[in-house]
Chains A and B, each alone.
Chain A
């Protein structure tokens, strides 16, 4: 069937408009998908093949007496990767960071989880807003968003 020039021209404009709309819609969908994946690693958390991270708090030790600002340090491992270490005091978020310190001793103890560079160690600062007893909780978060408490310590802060 032969199209009339008018109809053909009109169809071409329509296709170009449609292409522009599809392009804009594609960008919008991609942006929404990126935003969703950035904020909700839910699928990773629900991945049954994924292992929870694990680790240890080396310092302070349970029962320690600490100044108002103290370092907390330790190590964390995961079958995929440890994305973040989070520190809570009395159930409230205080600080977070990444494991950056080489810990070849941890690699030797857990060779199945060892990675090049051995960067499983972390040190973060811990602040207490009042003297007295406090509970410090440290969590490791893996690359899928799965979290695990790797240390819960009762300590006493002695000065402001």
Chain B
């Protein structure tokens, strides 16, 4: 009886926590943001720092960096950006931690496309930048 109850509660928590309904919630807003570096057309080394910021009405849980359509790195917001709080006061959620600094790796010199995405607490995902760059060394 106790085991059944525990299982039912666990299953309910798992299903409630998965956010399956959240991503279809019309009240939820897509996250938004910007990549400050590198700039479009930049020449970059084999490993480049991708820095920027992201915000959301409910919260950003993840930032993902893709190179040529493949995941390169992922992380969380961990940089203080009071300037972003000042620019978008309705999305601060009581913190200035809106910035990220991640890396992108390039396996060959030449042109590449970086896509940076922000993911919110409901799983809603948005491209916050698409940046063409050129890797100049291996």
Residues of A that sit less than 8 Å from B by CB: 24, 28, 31-32, 35-36, 38-40, 45-52, 54, 88, 91-94, 96, 137, 139, 146-149
Residues of A within 8 A of B25 (CB): 93
Residues of B within 8 A of A88 (CB): 30
Stretch at the interface among B16-24, B42-50, B96-104: B16-24
A35-B14, A39-B20 are known contacts. Are A137 and B117 too (CB-CB below 8 A)? no
Are B28 and A35 within 8 A (Cβ)?
no
Are A46 and B28 within 8 A (Cβ)?
no
Given B3, B18, B69, which contacts A40 in the complex, CB threshold below 8 Å? Answer: B18
For residue B17, which residue of chain A has the nearest CB? A39
A39-B20, A96-B24, A148-B115 are known contacts. Are A91 and B70 too (CB-CB below 8 A)? no
For residue A52, which residue of chain B has the nearest CB? B69
For residue B113, which residue of chain A has the nearest CB? A52
- Closest CB in chain A relative to B36 CB, distance in Å: 20
Are A54 and B69 within 8 A (Cβ)?
yes
Residues of A within 8 A of B28 (CB): 92-93
Are A91 and B32 within 8 A (Cβ)?
yes
Given B14, B70, B71, B124, which contacts A93 in the complex, CB threshold below 8 Å? Answer: B124
Residues of A within 8 A of B30 (CB): 88, 91-92, 137
A-B residue pairs in contact (CB < 8 Å), sample of 10: A31-B11, A35-B14, A36-B18, A38-B20, A45-B64, A47-B71, A52-B66, A91-B29, A93-B26, A146-B71
Residues of B within 8 A of A35 (CB): 11, 14-15, 18
Residues of A within 8 A of B26 (CB): 92-94
For residue A137, which residue of chain B has the nearest CB? B30
Chain B interface bracket (under 10, 10 to 19, 20 to 34, 35 or more) = 20 to 34
Residues of A within 8 A of B29 (CB): 91-92
B10 at the interface (CB under 8 A from A): yes
Residues of B within 8 A of A45 (CB): 64, 71
Bound-state Cα–Cα, A94 to B28, Å: 11
Residues of A within 8 A of B14 (CB): 32, 35-36, 39
Are B70 and A51 within 8 A (Cβ)?
yes
Are A39 and B11 within 8 A (Cβ)?
no
Are A39 and B27 within 8 A (Cβ)?
no
Bound-state Cα–Cα, A149 to B71, Å: 15
For residue A92, which residue of chain B has the nearest CB? B26
A92-B28, A96-B24 are known contacts. Are A50 and B70 too (CB-CB below 8 A)? yes
For residue B127, which residue of chain A has the nearest CB? A149
B126 at the interface (CB under 8 A from A): yes
Are A92 and B27 within 8 A (Cβ)?
yes
Bound-state Cα–Cα, A146 to B127, Å: 11
Bound-state Cα–Cα, A55 to B27, Å: 26
For residue B66, which residue of chain A has the nearest CB? A52
Bound-state Cα–Cα, A46 to B25, Å: 24
